[in-house]
Structure 1
């Protein structure tokens, strides 16, 4: 316990406040600057407030498709040259998409900061969206879906949970979308999607790292981004889901697996709420590591399962809390679910120990330090807290929420959200034709 206390204090001491400056350009683009001269690298990143939830039900996959399409080239960067420019100047780059946002970034030696800013401004102002690019990236996305979803064991788990948990909200479809929808889309539809969502007033630019000359950096930002015309204000539709009041039962057959999995999923509130953070801590308590309650009891002690776990799938509008278990030997998935339920009932009726609570908080202190231990992590956190949470300074203060959670809150939140009549039970099983072989 003494060692744990020392480690906790060390983590807190190391977790230095992240300093930043933020302002708006006249076209509505938000800018966040973070200077860290500890290493001669700088990241230029742009997060757009567009994700899979902004798509039409018959045109899913657009947001993820654009993650790929906007590397095709611009009016001033020839097709196929983007990655060559980055690597030849000592940089790296990438992008990723969720249901709520799309994020692009470059990491360069700090003497190439202007290059990074120019490239991201080119992506925003001068993208070339033509049929050859659409056709090329269509094949790339199809291959990604085959590798990561269709041919990946348990690759459809999240998609199947979402499909059954949401009936009205666009979270009900997979982020990667439907290949049939992408095939059916016309070039004009892709161009219209870009015009609507890829605008400066729907974006936040983050520059983080070794910014040697702040005044010059601001001049470059104005030069490359300030002249981009503001887009039309986006009218976002609000979707709500009726509470789940009785168990939803579903079945999915996966041809890539031999061992069944039982999944219990609960719909949870927006990641911006305190309740969602408490549910994060419940997830960690139940299943983070081999010393967690579920693993120790069901895998180690009773040897009923090959694997059990729980995780929070946090999103801007709603989240999901997902438990899963894979039986071992002759054990059945129903028995695994009963054991997981027993641990939840214990949480709902008994306070966890002070020692367990402190252990949880120590883990969140460590996670907090780790998430801000690199310039890349800080840049993405700054963008996320602005774009999805509406409060950039959460990069410094969100840890205080976790620090303030009480044992009573953990019990009460478990009672509020984790009841059998409020969940989906999904039997994720081997495909029958394969199981019979």
Structure 2
């Protein structure tokens, strides 16, 4: 479920069904197996055109990490019909905006335009798919861009390396052990032919979802989609077979150093199931219960009452094959990291041993009802949700019915899942420490 702004909790009392707008959509395949999803909403004259490619960092050669993220940048370089540097100019000159994102499982490109620019958006994305220019000049340019991004967001950012340290300790075999941004040495060593081969393999219609959401007429949209995409050649079938991880049966202890910080942090992480597993939704509820906001159990105890932590939070990372549940805390004054760990484990142990109160359970249900209502509050959000539910979950209809899963989760199930995944012998305890002149 996508976490957005919350409405007042009264929605639970009156029922969400009267306030939640069902997302109507139509989906079909072109002959080249490009999956198309249409969501028509003529209430405002805007339109989102997006393409979701089922390729992320997990699909890379382990000696060529960072390729998926690199292509997030590279495919803005230009096409056979769009000169280098002109893509963003075309979008902005026509009143639009656009961007792209990459994670371990997918790469997502999108534009938002006034609705009279539907054809322009489709042309842009068809150009990206059919006619990308991948040459040495573009590769060299984007190599420098990615290096600067890594320096800014990872190397020189406080706590910027924590996720890579968690991943490399939680995963030993699966490619999730690598970072999305990758190793710069791998990108430096890659040949132009390797970049071209990666594009040919993954950026094809049969590995993509095209979503149009917003103000359009269906028959006109279908005709334009056919005009711009039907003749793009289908790529070879992609097969995936990733190594499985052995269960964690003994607590993993590790240290990491960051020259950009002055306050140490404790980070506790558990390996969790992939997003299609119902337990992943239960773990989202657990995360909300423990650390979502000032009223959560960990915040009230460790920040408000015992004054142990400057900050406490949790990050449920839900991915296709596995997930991660990460709890982090920054100490107050001389509070030790071990004290923080003990306090965190005390609250997690309560989840394993006891049912949460009926009152806390109802608060959780309130929050998830509210989040569901707001998760589809924008055309851009709806477009991305439709693509993800189809490509990663295999069920587009979850955009309207995933709330049924959260409603059906019981207090007993929360306790059961906490016992299944959140035991001390199944966790990583990472000490994230300050250090000057840390070697990269």
Q: TM-score range by the shorter chain?
A: over 0.9
Aligned residues of 1:12 and 1:365 also touching (Cα < 8 A):
no
Q: Distance in 1 between matches of 2:14 and 2:432?
A: 43
Cα deviations by residue, 1:32-75 (Å, 9 ceiling, x for unpaired): 00000111001110000000000011100000000000000000
State the secondary structure of the residue aligned to 1:14.
coil
Which segments of 5 or more consecutive residues in structure 2 lack a partner in the other structure?
1-7
Aligned residues of 2:261 and 2:434 also touching (Cα < 8 A):
yes
Q: Distance in 2 between matches of 1:244 and 1:124?
A: 41
Q: Distance in 1 between matches of 2:104 and 2:262?
A: 30
Aligned residues of 2:11 and 2:370 also touching (Cα < 8 A):
no
Of 124, 138, 142, the match for 1:137: 142
Aligned residues of 2:175 and 2:242 also touching (Cα < 8 A):
no
Q: Distance in 2 between matches of 1:18 and 1:288?
A: 27
Q: Distance in 2 between matches of 1:175 and 1:238?
A: 16
Q: Distance in 1 between matches of 2:40 and 2:391?
A: 20
| Corresponding residue of 2:4 | none
Cα deviations by residue, 1:333-375 (Å, 9 ceiling, x for unpaired): 0000000000011111111111111111111112112220000
Q: Distance in 2 between matches of 1:32 and 1:81?
A: 28
Aligned residues of 2:9 and 2:367 also touching (Cα < 8 A):
no
Of 77, 84, 89, the match for 1:84: 89
State the secondary structure of the residue aligned to 1:388.
helix
* TM-score where L is the length of structure 2: 0.96
1:362-377 → structure 2 map (5 Å cutoff): 362-377=366-381
1:50-69 → structure 2 map (5 Å cutoff): 50-69=55-74
State the secondary structure of the residue aligned to 1:367.
helix
Of 163, 183, 190, the match for 1:185: 190
Q: Distance in 2 between matches of 1:401 and 1:235?
A: 30
Of 355, 361, 372, the match for 2:359: 355
| Corresponding residue of 2:237 | 233
Aligned-residue offset at 1:4: 3.7
Q: Distance in 1 between matches of 2:22 and 2:410?
A: 24
State the secondary structure of the residue aligned to 1:19.
coil
Q: Distance in 2 between matches of 1:100 and 1:269?
A: 15
* TM-score where L is the length of structure 1: 0.97
Cα deviations by residue, 1:88-117 (Å, 9 ceiling, x for unpaired): 000000000000000000111101100000
Q: Distance in 1 between matches of 2:260 and 2:49?
A: 39
Q: Distance in 2 between matches of 1:153 and 1:12?
A: 43
2:287 maps to 1:283: yes
Q: 1:44 to 1:303 in 2, by over 3 A?
A: same
Q: Distance in 1 between matches of 2:271 and 2:407?
A: 24
2:177 maps to 1:172: yes
Q: Distance in 1 between matches of 2:231 and 2:28?
A: 16
2:339 maps to 1:328: no
Q: 1:380 to 1:232 in 2, by over 3 A?
A: same
Q: Distance in 2 between matches of 1:238 and 1:307?
A: 36
| Corresponding residue of 1:110 | 115
1:414-429 → structure 2 map (5 Å cutoff): 414-429=418-433
| Corresponding residue of 1:258 | 262
2:112 maps to 1:70: no
Q: Distance in 1 between matches of 2:287 and 2:312?
A: 12
Cα deviations by residue, 1:249-294 (Å, 9 ceiling, x for unpaired): 1110000001111111000001111100000000000000011100
Q: Distance in 1 between matches of 2:141 and 2:35?
A: 32
Which segments of 5 or more consecutive residues in structure 1 lack a partner in the other structure?
none
Aligned residues of 1:118 and 1:224 also touching (Cα < 8 A):
yes
2:273 maps to 1:269: yes
| Corresponding residue of 1:42 | 47
Q: Distance in 1 between matches of 2:338 and 2:280?
A: 27
| Corresponding residue of 2:397 | 393
State the secondary structure of the residue aligned to 1:13.
coil
Aligned-residue offset at 1:5: 4.0
Q: 1:226 to 1:405 in 2, by over 3 A?
A: same
Q: Distance in 2 between matches of 1:164 and 1:4?
A: 39
| Corresponding residue of 1:317 | 321
Aligned-residue offset at 1:157: 1.0
Q: Distance in 1 between matches of 2:334 and 2:437?
A: 21
Aligned-residue offset at 1:11: 4.3
| Corresponding residue of 2:5 | none
Aligned-residue offset at 1:8: 5.1
State the secondary structure of the residue aligned to 2:18.
helix
Aligned-residue offset at 1:404: 1.0
